[in-house]
Amino acid sequence: MGARLALALAIAASITAQESLQLKDGRFVVDKRIEAHPAGAVIHYDNGDVIVPRDAILACTAFDVDAKEAAYPPEDQAKIEQGLVPFEGRWMKPERRDAILQERRETRQARIEEAKKHRFWRNHYDLETKNFHFEYTIDPEVMQRYADMLEVYYKTFTKEWGIKKPRGFDRLKVCFYHDEDYFHQVGGAPKGVIGYFKFVQPIELNFFYERLDEALTQDVLFHEANHFLTYLIDPEFFYPIWVNESLAEYYGASEWDEDKQEMIIGGLQEGRLAVLQDAIRRDELQDLEELMRLPQGQFNATHYAWGWSFVHFLMSDKKSEKAFKKFFLALARDSKIDRVQHFSRIKTVEPDVAIDVFKRIMKVDDLAALQAGWHTYVRGMRAASADGYRKAGDMALARGLPLKAQRYYRTALEMGDTNCMTHFGYGRALYQKSKHAEAAEEFEKAIAIDPLQGRFWMYLADAKNHQHTAQPEVDRLRRLALEIDPDDYSLMLRLIAGGKEEVK
């Protein structure tokens, strides 16, 4: 396969002055000058040379990636003799390929102009669906995917829990920002907050899009949207922090089936699992009653993990699942339960009351016995992988805990993780603690594994900027980032802004 495509791409190169390269993950680099390199291939971009590792390359016009294959199938020879060239898995006339490339250039330029127009919040896009009104600065195609996801989530959850939208309730406003910095700048969220539901009027959801970790974007989306969906049970009731966040984490761990357009609920969340198993090794087991009595300001990232596992434990059994749902709904709906004022017209329940209701509905006489079963359940979960520790690092970093994130990333690397995103995350964690030289080293390691991720180069530019690297070199790296990844919306906006807003 490699030799066949190499031959075909070589023919394409003879027709155009530029070379072509295909990565094993399906990405293409076309319309660039490419040469063989001892390590693989070197791509000559306008803003610098980039070396792509040989083991990442499927085929290239500049050299035969798999020189051992010398025989070329007759069907390919026949196509070549007809003057056809391969392009992204298809054979076509050179004129057709060139027209496609030109159309993409024009489309890209149009997208840049569109990005310039909509990068400021005052010029945001708008999209209305059945239950939501979206205001956003991300790519419209990306927004449509998440809009579809939220509509399915709304239908799935309200049906399962028997929830109806209160009378007179309009579409919920959802604000979606193109990156984390803009989310904090415009949305007003403090560092460590990666999404939030504003439950006082006018209510709204706020998120940002993380292009290099869409799993995190989806996790936050499902988590925060759960707060909105449970808000519909009674808009004037505020759930205790432990049950509110723990249920949101349970649904935040849901997977999305793109083909079937449906949620897969109840999965294991690798990142939370890594946090729990790290705590178990340190003999730092969570006391259940303590978890239930925690005030809002003390509920931290570790508590999120324990809370997720407790709800997962209860929802794993049909009997306890039914009782837990009854308990959750009763807190807001049962008129016999004593409630106290939280603020304004919104009420809540005191920990003593919530615990008593929980024990009564769950038919639990002793929390200690339930706690023992929960801890046994957690110990029986499969061992967290290196990827799980990377995800734990991602979550700690997103929650504003860079020191803890560094420990998780180091653990992942010590376990043999070779994912470029682990080095990338570790670099970000170091960067946030002003360890710019060490951060630059990690970004360079990420680049060595996958040099065709523009974001890595942008972060490297920011780290070097703090090391007093000459400004022309910093600017070159930033331009190279966008040249490598010209369709990365956030990089596009960074360059439009003149590279002044550093990523964190």
What pLDDT, on the 0 to 100 scale, is given for residue 70?
A: 39
Please tell me the distance from the alpha carbon of residue 57 to that of residue 61, in angstroms, as a whole number. 11
What pLDDT, on the 0 to 100 scale, is given for residue 117?
A: 78
- Rounded to the nearest angstrom, the gap between the alpha carbon of residue 94 and the centroid of all alpha carbons in its chain is 38
Mean pLDDT of the region 348-371: 96
Among 203, 189, 267, 287, smallest CA distance to 238 is for 203
> Within 13 Å and on the Cβ side, how many CA atoms surround 300?
9
What pLDDT, on the 0 to 100 scale, is given for residue 127?
A: 97
Which range has highest mean pLDDT (67-71, 294-298, 379-383, 416-420)? 416-420
Say whether 387 sits in a helix, a strand or coil.
helix
**Picking from 73-82, 152-161, 191-200, 265-274, which range would have the lowest pLDDT averaged per residue?**
73-82
List phi, psi (to 5°) of 253: -80, 0
Q: What is the DSSP letter of 301?
A: H
| Residue % of the chain over a pLDDT of 70 | 90
What pLDDT, on the 0 to 100 scale, is given for residue 5?
A: 53
Query: Is pTM beyond 0.85 here?
Result: no
**Look-up: residue for tokens 């690092």?**
393
Question: 68 pLDDT band (50/70/90 cuts)?
Answer: very low
**Picking from 95-104, 255-264, 340-349, 417-426, which range would have the lowest pLDDT averaged per residue?**
95-104
Mean pLDDT of the region 141-157: 94
CATH number attached to the domain at 119-232: 3.40.30.160
What pLDDT, on the 0 to 100 scale, is given for residue 69?
A: 38
Superfamily name and number for 386-496: Tetratricopeptide repeat domain (1.25.40.10)
Angle at 376 between CA 375 and CA 379, to 5 degrees: 85
The pLDDT tens digits of the residues spanning 362-399 come to 999 999 999 999 999 999 988 778 888 998 898 888 77
Q: Is residue 9 predicted with pLDDT exceeding 60?
A: no
First to last CA, the chain: 42
Q: Is residue 12 predicted with pLDDT exceeding 70?
A: no
Report the run of H or E that residue 282 belongs to, with start and end.
Answer: none
Q: Is residue 101 predicted with pLDDT exceeding 80?
A: no
CA distances from 191 to 35, 396, 400, 433, 458 (A): 44, 12, 6, 14, 21
The pLDDT tens digits of the residues spanning 457-500 come to 999 999 999 998 999 999 999 999 989 988 776 787 777 655 54
What pLDDT, on the 0 to 100 scale, is given for residue 104?
A: 73
- Spell out the residues 6+ positions from residue 290 whose beta carbon is closer than 8 angstroms to its own: none
Assigned token pair, 357: 């209701």
Strand order in the sheet with 19-23: 48-53, 40-45, 28-37, 19-23, 57-60
Q: Is residue 88 predicted with pLDDT exceeding 60?
A: yes
The helix, strand and coil proportions of the chain, stated in percent and rounded to the nearest 5, come to 55, 15, 30
* Residue pair 173/202 in contact by the 8 Å Cβ criterion: yes
What pLDDT, on the 0 to 100 scale, is given for residue 406?
A: 95
The pLDDT tens digits of the residues spanning 241-288 come to 999 999 999 999 898 999 999 999 988 888 888 999 889 988 999 999
The domain ranges of the chain are 2-98, 119-232, 386-496
Assigned token pair, 335: 């008129």
Assigned token pair, 317: 């059994």
State the maximum Cα–Cα separation within the chain, in Å, rounded to a whole number: 84
- Spell out the residues 6+ positions from residue 395 whose beta carbon is closer than 8 angstroms to its own: 216, 271, 272, 275, 301
Among 163, 164, 223, smallest CA distance to 193 is for 223
